[in-house]
Amino acid sequence: MHHDRLCLQFFLVVHLILGVPELLLGVWIAHPTASSGLLNDWHDHIFRVTRSPLVHFLVTIPMSKYDLSVADRYRSMVSELFSRGGRLPIGDHYFLRTWDQRTAGECVQAVIEVEDAEAPGVLDVVNGVARENGFEADVRETPPAEVPSPLWNVGFAGISFDRVSKALYRDASPLASEFAGAARESVGGAYRLALRLMAEHDKATLVGSEQRGVSPLGFGDLLSTRLLSFRSHYEGMAARVRDRESFEGRCEKYYEDFGHYARGLVSSCMESENPTDDPHMRQWALNISGTTKPLREEVREGRIVNVGLTLDDLNRDRETLLSPAGFHAFGADSEAFQYLMNSDPDFMAFRIQAGLLYSCLHTIGFSLPERFVLCYILGRANEDVSGKSANELQERLMSVAEGMYARTDPAREGQWS
């Protein structure tokens, strides 16, 4: 933070020299604790004055289906290209593993910004590393405004969402490449890495949450309601599988192997809000905690909006209506709970952060089935450490929802006390 403030002072001086309008300076002054990704937007504005022309490339690399070697080859490729000390020159790069919006095919998308003179060599490196790992890269010069949002499928939109989502991924991408490289060591090591990342991530989202000033719950109890999101994510998948009993049985076997480790993570995170000593995990946590306030304000000001489908949306044109069932039936008739889930700016910031986490787990190289297994492990560990069932944790979350909802109308104050 001290480093960021020094950089901020320097940037302000340079902006004044260059004659940048006061409006831009006001943005800096109003958000001195903005995440490094947002700071980089203005950092680039300054130094591009003296750099040679820049070109932006969108790299698309299709991922093979039904090939067990894909995960390792993919991790090798992205760690070689994008990790610190990787083969790409320093620039404004990020990458993610996603789905092509046009074809629905799974792919890697990378955005690479380089000086014009460096472009031929950089393209040779990208194509060469892709081929060395058994992939083919489609590289096209693409204006930044035409690059798809990396979080296009997380249920949010708005006039600033594209810019913000790209800034989030610019921060996440270097760490994701380091995690991808580390995940190659062993399957067990990869799962422990993912579980730790998930736990530290959720803890970091709570550090600057407004819930802490509203709810009487302590940090650990509040964190249990955040970790409940992993149970929710798992339940959403489990409700759609044909043989839930078999699916859950496989997840339980993984819990036998990793439950002890996961319970230790949950206990540690509940005991202290301070980030871990591991340098990469610590940087991830600091990045995430630094985004909570900026994201919340973007939502509060209407620049980012929730466009995820609700049950009412799904039922709008149906003759036979769907009804909430099982885990997700909870709170369906509660104004307070629905406000928290779909409108509260602080919780919307958490939902965007959760979308980033799930996207990055895929970007690190974990498949969708692996992601749901990991959610089961951490969700169940949360219940075991808390000594509460999932339904009891939902009741705890309801109390948080009622407190946050009461703030929207003074007449509701004390209604649920």
Which strands, in side-by-side order, build the sheet including 138-141? 94-99, 106-115, 54-62, 138-141
Region of 278 on the Ramachandran plot (φ > 0 left; ψ -120 to 50 alpha; else beta): beta
- Residue 47's pLDDT is 42
Whether 16 shows a pLDDT value over 80: the answer reads no
Whether 9 shows a pLDDT value over 70: the answer reads no
Mean pLDDT of 174-201: 97
- What pLDDT band is residue 322 in, cutting at 50, 70 and 90? low
Nearest-5° Cα angle at 207, 335 to 201: 90
Q: How far is CA 309 from CA 119, 219, 319, 324, 351, in A?
A: 41, 31, 18, 13, 14
- Residue 88's pLDDT is 81
Q: What percent of the chain has pLDDT over 90?
A: 69
Between CA 148 and CA 142 the distance in angstroms is: 10
Whether 182 shows a pLDDT value over 80: the answer reads yes
Rank 62-66, 83-87, 308-312 by mean pLDDT and report only the highest.
Answer: 62-66
- Residue 90's pLDDT is 66
pLDDT digits (tens, 9 = 90+) for 22-66: 333 233 333 434 444 544 554 444 444 445 688 999 999 999 877
pTM attached to this predicted model? 0.84
- Residue 336's pLDDT is 97
- Residue 414's pLDDT is 52
Multiple choice CATH, 54-148, 3.30.230.70, 3.40.50.300, 3.30.310.180, 3.90.79.10: 3.30.310.180
Mean pLDDT of 188-214: 98
Whether 259 shows a pLDDT value over 60: the answer reads yes
- Residue 21's pLDDT is 35
> Among 95-104, 299-308, 322-331, 390-399, where is mean pLDDT lowest?
322-331
- Residue 309's pLDDT is 75
- What pLDDT band is residue 89 in, cutting at 50, 70 and 90? confident
When comparing pLDDT for 310 and 219, which is higher? 219
Rank 2-6, 241-245, 373-377 by mean pLDDT and report only the highest.
Answer: 373-377
Inter-residue contact 172 to 36 (CB < 8 Å): no
Between CA 38 and CA 164 the distance in angstroms is: 8
- Residue 150's pLDDT is 96
Buried b (16+ CB within 10 A) or exposed e, 52-88: eebbbbbbbbebeeeeeebbebbbbbbbbbbbeebeb
- Residue 93's pLDDT is 87
Could you identify the residue written with the tokens 């593993």? 97
Secondary structure, 3-state, the chain: CHHHHHHHHHHHHHHHHHCCCHHHHHHHHHCCCCCHHHHHHHHHHHHCCCCCCEEEEEEEEECCCCCCCHHHHHHHHHHHHHCCCCCCCCCCCEEEEEECCCCCCEEEEEEEEEEHHHHHHHHHHHHHHHHHCCCCCEEEECCHHHCCCCCCCCCEECCCHHHHHHHHHHHHHHHHHHHHHHCCCCHHHHHHHHHHHHHHHHHHHHHCCHHHHCCCCCHHHHHHHHHHHHHHHHHHHHCCCCCHHHHHHHHHHHHHHHHHHHHHHHHHHHHCCCCCCCHHHHHHHHHHHHHHHHHHHHHHCCCCEECCCCHHHHHCCCCCCCCCCHHHHCCCCCHHHHHHHHCCHHHHHHHHHHHHHHHHHHHHCCCHHHHHHHHHHHHHHHHHHHCCCHHHHHHHHHHHHHHHHHCCCHHHCCCCC
Mean pLDDT of 131-147: 94
Whether 315 shows a pLDDT value over 80: the answer reads no
What does the mean pLDDT of the chain come to? 86
Strand partners of residue 311: none
> Among 205-209, 240-244, 247-251, where is mean pLDDT lowest?
240-244
> Among 14-28, 191-205, 291-305, 329-343, where is mean pLDDT lowest?
14-28
- Residue 31's pLDDT is 41
Inter-residue contact 258 to 191 (CB < 8 Å): yes
pLDDT digits (tens, 9 = 90+) for 229-238: 999 999 988 9
Residues 6+ apart with CB under 8 A from 203: 223, 226, 269, 273, 275, 285
Whether 381 shows a pLDDT value over 50: the answer reads yes
- Residue 30's pLDDT is 37
Which amino acid, one-letter code, is at 307? Answer: V
- Residue 411's pLDDT is 62
pLDDT digits (tens, 9 = 90+) for 111-130: 999 888 788 888 899 999 99
- Residue 416's pLDDT is 43
- Residue 114's pLDDT is 87
- What pLDDT band is residue 417 in, cutting at 50, 70 and 90? very low
- Residue 10's pLDDT is 38
- Residue 271's pLDDT is 97
